[in-house]
Amino acid sequence: QVQLLESGGGLVQAGGSLRLSCAASGSFVALNAMGWYRQAPGKQRELVATITSGGNTNYADSVKGRFTISRDNAKNTVYLQMNSLKPEDTAVYYCNADYRRSWLFDSTAAAWGQGTQVTVSS
């Protein structure tokens, strides 16, 4: 139904920056909340940041002040600007989107990206 394609991951030194992008495509009439999650080695997947369709944002305490989530509704794309990166930010980052499938039905669903690796060296 909906596919999320991520890009922008890579290897950076501590203190550096990366910008992740996630573009949604497929069958949907509206994207609701979107967000970024990450899973570090040996740890469970955790919420990084979310943004509603109206632009309200929420961040994990560990990234507050360093990361910024944004979206371009015209492009069906969500971004994660990551500054002042730390080695503990190393993880696979996953894009998430809640979407409405049809205006005729009160039906929502969730989609996940394939993940993109972010590695921060010390």
Which pLDDT tens digit goes with each residue over 106-117? Answer: 889 999 999 999
Q: What is the pLDDT of residues 66-100, one digit of tens each?
A: 999 999 999 999 999 999 999 999 999 999 999 99
Distance, in Å, from the CA atom of 83 to the CA atom of 19, rounded to the nearest integer, reads: 9
Q: How confident is the model at residue 105 (pLDDT cuts 50, 70, 90)?
A: confident
Q: CA dihedral defined by 80, 84, 90, 91, rounded to 10 degrees? A: -10
